[in-house]
Amino acid sequence: MTSIRRYLNWALATLLVVVMSLAVTAAYFVTRHEMEEIFDAQLSLQGRIVAGLVTERTTSDEYARIAAQLSQPGHFARWYGSTGNLLTDLAAPALYDHEEKMISLGVWSDSGRPILMGARWYDDADATSFPAPHHEGHRWVSYQGHRWRTFSMPIAGGRWLSIGLRDAFQSELFNKVALGNFVPLLLTLPILLWLMARLIRRGLAPIGELSRQVEARDEKDLRPIRVAVPQELQALRGALNDFIDRLGQTLERERRFTADAAHELRTPLAALKIHLDNARFGEPSALDKAYNGIERLQRVVEQLLLLARLELDDQGAAPETVELSSLVLDLAAELWPLAESQQQTLEIAESPALSLEGNATELGILIRNLLDNALRYTPEGGGSKWPWARPRTGGLGCRSATAARGSPRRCSRP
């Protein structure tokens, strides 16, 4: 995802178009179904009206007048007289509506012989008429390449009446209704898309403001972010402020470490420079003093490195189970060359199994400092014996404090 704004614009625009298309399609089919029911009801009503006008006593002149009214320019209605002759010499009136071509009716005898055919239900080319009905009600009938929706019912004298509406009329009306619903939506679509893009831009504005607040800061500006953000971005702002706070604490520790290192190194370096200057001017004992100064400087550097490592390991370090006897033996072996160089004796008479919950690095620094101080401040040829040679009666207990945290650690005998 390269841009949230672009993704939302495309996703919502696609969703809007799909929803509009589905809505128009659903409206089309629902409207078609409802209008089909309305047309069926109209055909039924018209059939009842015509059935009330045509009786057993309807004369030939009345049928002729009905045929004359049903004729259309170029298409004449047909009335079959009692002698079976087809009457075609009827004048066709003008059409009041173009859609009249889509409606027609017919009357048949009980045997299916046509009595009266509308203008569109007779073909002059092959002298065929619309199929006679066989049952009452609505049905679809195909005639001369067109589908007709018809309503049929029996009338007086055992005759049958059918009134039909061409399917093209219904389809044209359905398409006009669907187009009338779709065109307004299509015209409003660009406006909706523009409004949607504006709302998305306005909704994402707090993210841009938050980004500008962070981008405008330099490495020295560690103030908390105070810009107002919506509820969804409050967690992000809180996480950024927590990160800035942790970063400030880290930088402060580095600053203090740098200041402490400079302070601790300034005095040994100054003394070392004095001793070297004295050696240059012919004082032999100044070299030994310079050598001792270098050793002190080395110890200071080691202490600073241990302090830096301690602060690094202390960040989020979880307590662990430490075997204290193994840790003491490892540190004693590490400091053994120093004791041997000074002809000192470092003895661990007995090392009981002891476990301790704490930080191995912190405990190592604590024990190393104790051993280092004992060796450095013991005269040459002296000895140092670890004071816990044999456990006392009633169990062994101890309490120690770490160099950095100062929190008490409990010891236990397994």
More confident residue, 134 or 95: 134
Q: Are strands 114-117 and 320-323 parallel, antiparallel or unpaired?
A: unpaired
Residues 159 and 11 in one domain: yes
Residues 125 and 241 in one domain: no
Report the b/e string of 370-397 with b at 16+ CB within 10 A. ebbebbeebeeeeebebebeeeeeeeee
Examine the pLDDT at 399 and tell me if it is beyond 70.
no
| Beta carbons of 325 and 351 less than 8 angstroms apart | yes
| Amino acid identity for residue 162 in this structure | S
Q: Where are the beta strands (DSSP E) in 118-159?
A: 122-123, 128-129, 137-143, 146-154
The whole-number average pLDDT for the span 228-248 is 82
The whole-number average pLDDT for the span 277-281 is 82
Residues 278 and 340 in one domain: no
* pTM flag (> 0.85): no
Closest listed residue to residue 91, CA positions, set 107, 72, 109, 114: 72
Domain that holds residue 45: 4-177
Provide the pLDDT for residue 157. 79
| Beta carbons of 195 and 177 less than 8 angstroms apart | no
Residues 49 and 153 in one domain: yes
Examine the pLDDT at 397 and tell me if it is beyond 50.
no
Provide the pLDDT for residue 82. 59
| pLDDT bucket at 86, cuts 50 / 70 / 90 | low
In a domain, 96, yes or no: yes
Closest listed residue to residue 155, CA positions, set 44, 48, 60, 64: 48
Provide the pLDDT for residue 88. 52
Provide the pLDDT for residue 161. 92
Residues 30 and 160 in one domain: yes
In a domain, 220, yes or no: no
Structure tokens at 259: 């200041």
Residue 399 belongs to what H/E stretch?
strand 399-401
258, 281, 311 — which closes off a domain? Answer: 311
- Domain containing residue 289: CATH number: 1.10.287
In a domain, 406, yes or no: yes
State how far the Cα of 254 lies from the Cα of 307, in Å rounded to an integer.
11
Q: How many domains does the chain have?
A: 3
177, 196, 220 — which closes off a domain? Answer: 177
Q: Which residues pair with 128 in a beta bridge?
A: 123
Residues 164 and 24 in one domain: yes
State how far the Cα of 96 lies from the Cα of 75, in Å rounded to an integer.
15
Residues 134 and 46 in one domain: yes
Q: Which residues pair with 46 in a beta bridge?
A: none
Residues 146 and 257 in one domain: no
Residues 254 and 328 in one domain: no
Residues 32 and 173 in one domain: yes
Residue 27 belongs to what H/E stretch?
helix 4-53
Give per-residue pLDDT as tens, 168-227. 888 888 788 778 877 888 888 888 888 888 888 888 788 877 778 777 777 777 788 777
254, 283, 311 — which closes off a domain? Answer: 311
Q: Where are the beta strands (DSSP E) in 82-180?
A: 86-87, 103-108, 114-117, 122-123, 128-129, 137-143, 146-154, 160-166
For residue 68, how many other CB atoms are within 10 A of its CB?
17
In a domain, 156, yes or no: yes
* Range in 6-10, 147-151, 200-204, 391-395 with the lowest mean pLDDT: 391-395
Provide the pLDDT for residue 405. 32
Examine the pLDDT at 260 and tell me if it is beyond 90.
no
In a domain, 137, yes or no: yes
Residues 29 and 120 in one domain: yes
| Beta carbons of 208 and 35 less than 8 angstroms apart | no
Handedness of CA 93, 97, 101, 107 (dihedral sign): negative
In a domain, 255, yes or no: yes
State how far the Cα of 213 lies from the Cα of 227, in Å rounded to an integer.
8
Residues 111 and 168 in one domain: yes
Q: Is 105 helix (H, G, I), strand (E, B) or coil?
A: strand
In a domain, 186, yes or no: no
| pLDDT bucket at 149, cuts 50 / 70 / 90 | very high
CA distances from 57 to 60, 61, 62, 157 (A): 10, 11, 10, 9
The whole-number average pLDDT for the span 82-108 is 70
In a domain, 154, yes or no: yes
- Domain containing residue 344: CATH number: 3.30.565.10
| Beta carbons of 254 and 304 less than 8 angstroms apart | no
Q: Is 298 helix (H, G, I), strand (E, B) or coil?
A: helix
